Amino acid sequence: MYRLKSLLRLCQRSSAVPIRIVSTRDQHSQFNMSTPGISTVYNDIIKSAEDKRSYRGLELDNGMKVLLVSDPSTEKAAAAMDVHIGSMSDPWELPGLAHFLEHMLFLGTTKYPSENDYTQFLSEHGGASNAFTSAEHTTFYFDVAHEYLSGALDRFGQFFLCPLFNKDSQEREVNAVDSENKKNLNNDNWRLAQLEKTTADPSHPFSKFSTGSKETLEITPQANGIDVREALLKFHADNYSSNIMCLSVIGRESLDELSELVVDLFASVEDKSVKIPEWPDHPFKEDKLKLRADIVPIKNLRQLNVTFPLPDLRKHYRSEPTHYLGHLVGHESAGSLLSELKAKGWVNTLCGGAKLGAKGFSFFIINVDLSEDGINHVDDIISHMFQYLNMLREKGPQQWVHEECRDLDAMKFRFKDKERASAYVTKLCHQLHFYPMNEVLFAPYCMDEYKPELIEMILSLLTPDNIRVACISQSFQGKTDEVEKWYGTEYRLCQIPEETIERWKNIGLNRKFHLPGRNEFIPTNFDICEIDKDLTQVPTLIYESPISKLWFKQDGTFQMPKACMYFEFSSPLAYLDPVSCNMTSLFSVLLRDSLNEYAYDAELAGISYSIDSTIYGIQISIGGYSHKEPILLKKIMEKLTQFTIDETRFQVIKETYTRMLQNFVAEQPHQHAAYYTSVIISELAWTKDELADAMEEVTIAKMKDFLPQLFSKLHVEALLHGNLTKEKALNILELVENILKENCRTKPLLPSQRIRRREIQLPDGCYYVYQRHNEVHSVSGIEIYFQTDVQTTRNNMLLELFCQIISEPCFDILRTKEQLGYIVFSGVRRSNGVQGLRFVIQSDKPAHYLDLRIEAFLLAMKAHITDMTEDAYQKHVTALAVKRLEKPKRLASEAIRHWTEISSRQYNFERDGIEVAYLKSITKDDLLTFYSEMIAAGASKRHKIAVYVQPPTQTRDGFKEMLDQPDAASKNDLLLNNVPDLEECVQITDVTAFKSRLPLFPLPTPFTNETKSKL
């Protein structure tokens, strides 16, 4: 009780933020420490008073920790298990074994031996699942319609009791791991992370390769006489012990019912008394410090990453000294490290703070994104870093800074939004490993202990003697002398000269650096607006003028002191040509950059904002605590309408933006395929190449001429949603209109200038193929798109139901059994009011072959649906209904749903209810008719377009060779028999000519008549 009392005292003394916390207690529980299977019951879980859910903690006799969440309003039940073992515990001779084991647990258990029983059960009941492996954790999670928690949890629990590890499943699934690894080989984030490991102490488990590949999990082990299946069984037997497992479950059931369910299913998991691995020795020992690595990236990146080794400080969660220092080092206001480095023209962004390693060690990092000039001033930038740290030492720890961080965290806890059930349990089961059970919800937000000595201790470690530097730039090409083993990264590692270290040690102070001021954006008014007697369930048009429309919805659901604001400033000039598009995009980045020092405090205080360019103009959104949002909006509008271009920042940001366009070439092949599909079927889309080529024409002089024209004629459409009244909403829009008129003399657009873009209408019976090469990656990406029709209630539900039914078989057949690749996806594609069925695959197999396998799969789906029982069919109808009717968990999620309807100009705010009501009328025969008319090969109204993105080495001849060697390539093709070859296609060689010959779809009819409400 001492800690609870101390937290209550904290709440009382916090003047800025009134915090309310309570302790969950269930006085009528039948579960206690004498209940078989349970050793300890915790009914005093500290939670926010705004949290209406009930919690209970259990420690089972087998040592497993469990957190139960009873939420009578949840549509989805969910569970997550975190096993405190990960890739750092891999045997040295089997890199990636923990990750491989994670994959294998999905593929059958003794009780449920079918490989896809678990995923099929979830799919049929509106659920989904996933897992991930990190350095010291392996985490599994799922969600499902709340009525089916028991069946899902039973299947889930078998992962930890009796997995099969079938030999044939193992031989296939190693290909999925290999494909996952290949996907990451040219990803700079993965390459840099592995290089950090590779250049650490080679005897430390931190240095291991964690993903695994066919080489490490099949070829090399076979050559060395290692039985990988036996190794999997041994790893599971040795490490999957109940005493290092933490489980979290959320459902509608009472806490007693959830307790009984968990005890029945998990009390029999074996306790092997496994000791949680700990690594007190740091992987960056003395001989791994004062090093600089020059690294060649795949993309045209320029980064400077500075790292200092730290001990594991997680036990100090109540004082959070690294949070204090990260808050200051990463601050972006005037007087900050970032502010000065930007003024020098050397950097664009900076992040600083603690980075977890594993149990026993951690890091403190300062990472910056360098400008073109910045790469020539690396030592100077690091000098500034040490000058800033010297300023912090000179000033000493400041209690007011700690208290401000404390109050901000406490405010986050009190007004914490609900999360998706699966995300929530995933986070909670991880937290169970690190915090006392009764504090597991509150501890990540708790900073009630001020310990300046810990801050000073960490500062004493952030010195030149403890530094590691990584410089990332393509300018190092040809200047390196080493190649990293797993990813092939080229780099050069050298000792930092002692004279440089000495200069940093004696760098002194820079008087331009100072502590940030007190945060004036921290809200002090948390009152909930009085609910309007005419409260509506959907947004209402409350104002319309020649220049603007305002949609408004007062929140009556979440009852939080928060609001969301969306504004779209539409101008036909924004996307007129590639130069105009670039200038609009560049302006949005420059505007954000110019606001950064002012608005950073707002973001710290829980008011987020974004400024983005779209094909229609500029979109501004603000979300968070409603009290001071209008202050930020006013500043944004004043900057937007009176913008002055800073020449230094313009040149830096223009160069960064140009590199971003050029770097698209290094994105994943499946992303390229999706991008080219969009370019081909959109009425107007400037390509990345067209935009990059046009950047030469973008100058300061041209920008100065363009911006007044951009804002001279506009249409503004807005949504204000949340803790607001109609009067406040109208005042906010009046503010926006007045600033536009006063500063830009803005006039309204003509109605004909406000028409949305449309989509190309493919002809009946067509099959088009568009092919591109990707020079960076060695694998193929493919998107197959079957365009169906304009969005209507009937069309939407037929397509979504078809996708619901084929989703799990698609993954099971094409990914798990045929092993086409790690990325295999099917689903709905929608744009410009038109929709269709899409398949996306990334694979080392040729694109033409992937196309054939998709056709084979679709052919099999006809029999799959035809033979489906009515009961099975209705399960899918219900599963889709559950997904569609799941309510938003927070205000921001509800607001984005409404904004999507507004920005598309469809205005169907009650879409989910309307479409689900229609869904229930669709019969299996209706679905088969849809398939036979729109999807089946040879269908009269089929509209197919295939985009192939392949490495230059893959050809149609390679595809023929592969078919001649079935053991090497197609031994898993279950549906190959009696599948005809692809029909003759029409190759798209000129996208512009292709689009010019085809008509456009009409836009969907707006659902609402936009009647203005009475004020």
Active centre residues (catalytic): 102
618 contacts 654 by C-beta, under 8 angstroms: no
- With b meaning 16 or more CB within 10 Å and e meaning fewer, what string describes 187-199? bbebbbebbbbbb
For tokens 């700690």, what's the residue? 402
Pairing, β 347-358 against β 361-370: antiparallel
**Based on the number of CB atoms within 10 Å of its own CB, is 814 exposed (0-12), middle (13-18) or buried (19 or more)?**
buried
DSSP-H helix ranges across 97-166? 97-104, 117-124, 149-157
CA distance 74 to 72: 6
759 contacts 582 by C-beta, under 8 angstroms: no
Q: Reduce the DSSP state of residue 429 to 3 states and report it.
A: helix
Residue type, 656: T
Residues ≥6 apart with Cβ < 8 Å to 425: 69, 78, 79, 80, 141, 248, 249, 250
Pairing, β 65-70 against β 245-251: parallel
CA distance 74 to 251: 7
For tokens 């036996």, what's the residue? 230
Other residues' Cβ atoms within 10 Å of the Cβ of residue 252: 17
Six-digit token string for 30: 């039948």
The one-character DSSP state at 1008 is S
Q: Reduce the DSSP state of residue 356 to 3 states and report it.
A: strand
The one-character DSSP state at 158 is G
Residues ≥6 apart with Cβ < 8 Å to 343: 648
836 contacts 786 by C-beta, under 8 angstroms: yes
DSSP-H helix ranges across 745-831? 793-810
Sign of the four-CA dihedral 965, 966, 968, 973:
positive
CA distance 667 to 774: 9
Beta bridge partners of 292: 469, 494
The one-character DSSP state at 479 is S
What separation, in Å, do the N-terminal and C-terminal C-alpha atoms of the chain show?
52
C-alpha dist (Å) from residue 398 to 222, 323, 324 = 60, 13, 9
152 contacts 253 by C-beta, under 8 angstroms: no
CA distance 726 to 1015: 8
Residues ≥6 apart with Cβ < 8 Å to 532: 554, 725, 726
C-alpha dist (Å) from residue 710 to 79, 452, 581, 650, 756 = 51, 52, 11, 18, 18
Six-digit token string for 883: 């997904």
For tokens 């509209």, what's the residue? 943
CA distance 400 to 567: 36
Task: Return the H-helix or E-strand segment holding 949.
Answer: strand 943-950
What distance lies between CA 805 and its chain's CA centroid?
A: 26
Q: Reduce the DSSP state of residue 645 to 3 states and report it.
A: coil
Sign of the four-CA dihedral 837, 842, 845, 848:
positive
Other residues' Cβ atoms within 10 Å of the Cβ of residue 164: 18
Residue 398: name the closest of 474, 455, 481 by CA: 455
